[in-house]
Amino acid sequence: MSEEAIGEAAEPIGENGPADATGVPREPVRTRLSDGRELLYFDDEPNVEHTAVDRRGLEPAEITSQARWDVLTREWTVIAGHRQQRTFRPATSDCPLCPTRGDMLTEVPDDHYDVVVFENRFPSLAASAAASVPVIDEPPFRSGPGVGRCEVVVFTDDHTASFASLSPRRVETVIDAWTNRTEELQARPDVGFVYCFENRGDEIGVTLAHPHGQIYAYPFVPTRIARTGRSFLQAAAGGDGCLQCNLLQAELAAADRIVIAGEHWVAYVPFAARWPYEVRIVPRRHLGSLPELNAAERRELARVYLDVLTRFDRLWDSPAPYIAGWDQAPVGDWGKGWHLACDIFTIRRATGKLKYLAGSESGAGVWINDISPERAAARLRDSN
């Protein structure tokens, strides 16, 4: 798939659905909110009923997202002016991600849940944009509807929790949700790349305090992902095999940037880390996307993921603001030979000090890191 392409055909991969404790896939419970958006319940245990109905009487929103192509940088930008109306730091009593209880009507109709996924009410991308946004192809200007899909993943019905406080079993359920959504979204004809991620902390710009993440199904392959895919393809074509596999073996041999080395997963600080504290979690087995994980890999991933987040929180005397995101195989040619990885990083470089993307980073695109990867890895190893 070209990095310029919007909405080329996608091919599904892996097995469907989340997995229960035995590793047998099962489907989530699906329902619709009052404005027609889809909501899915993923439960820690099977056979849980969810029959509550959304009583808010919402009208479908008009989505005006555009995807615009920059001919100089060869990057897509999404313009989504309707998002100015999205919910911004509500009081706990008005949290839209808490369960519905009594007269407090929220995005989740049930009065309890484990993990839920639903279409974002204020999405950056949505299939419905095609109905109101025209296609423009008048060089040098090129744009089209910001189709795709944006989903919210709520990790728990406990407003005061955090991802790091979840049980391993709950994290397995979150992984099952990521897996299910990745496979289903990758099969859509308007999707080029599926990105599962979490923003955590006021410093990151999080607008809802309830523990949650998001899934973006882009109608194109983002530039960074396309560039990585090109590197994978060039290495394979040159007889060098998988770059990620080679890099993992080199990091294991060097050892000084390794944070966790499990049976199925390794977490390490990248040699050329951009952020003050940055960890890459990589499966030892060569695979491209979350749906390809087996039961043993899912179980160990839950524990390694929690371990890394706990180490981040122990670096300072207050919880670390962080971003965590999965680099999965994009749809089409850029995904051939891809090796799955999760990047977790914090913008905090010291107590009371943040890493800002100023002139060099934002203007020239050259990152300058104040903390060496080796020092960062040593601190993370010591923070368990």
Catalytic residue annotation:
212
Altogether, the residues listed in the chain come to a count of: 384
Other beta carbons less than 10 A from residue 160's beta carbon = 10
Report d(CA 14, CA 313) in Å as an integer.
34
Other beta carbons less than 10 A from residue 247's beta carbon = 17
Residues 6+ apart with CB under 8 A from 232: 242, 243, 244, 336, 337, 338, 339
252: left (phi over 0), alpha (psi -120 to 50) or beta: alpha
Q: Are 253 and 371 in contact (CB under 8 A)?
A: no
Side chain identity at residue 183, one-letter code: E
**What DSSP letter does each residue of 277-343 carry, written as one string?**
EEEEEEESS--SSGGG--HHHHHHHHHHHHHHHHHHHTSSSSPPPEEEEEE-PPSSGGGTT---EEE
Q: Which residues share a beta bridge with 104?
A: 101
Q: How many CA atoms lie within 13 Å of 165's alpha carbon, on the beta-carbon side?
A: 12
Q: Are 4 and 24 in contact (CB under 8 A)?
A: no
Report d(CA 110, CA 52) in Å as an integer.
5
Q: According to DSSP H, which parts of the chain are helical?
A: 168-186, 223-237, 243-254, 295-313, 373-382
Q: 234: which 2 tokens?
A: 């060039």
- Angle at CA of residue 176, ends 175 and 179, nearest 5°: 85
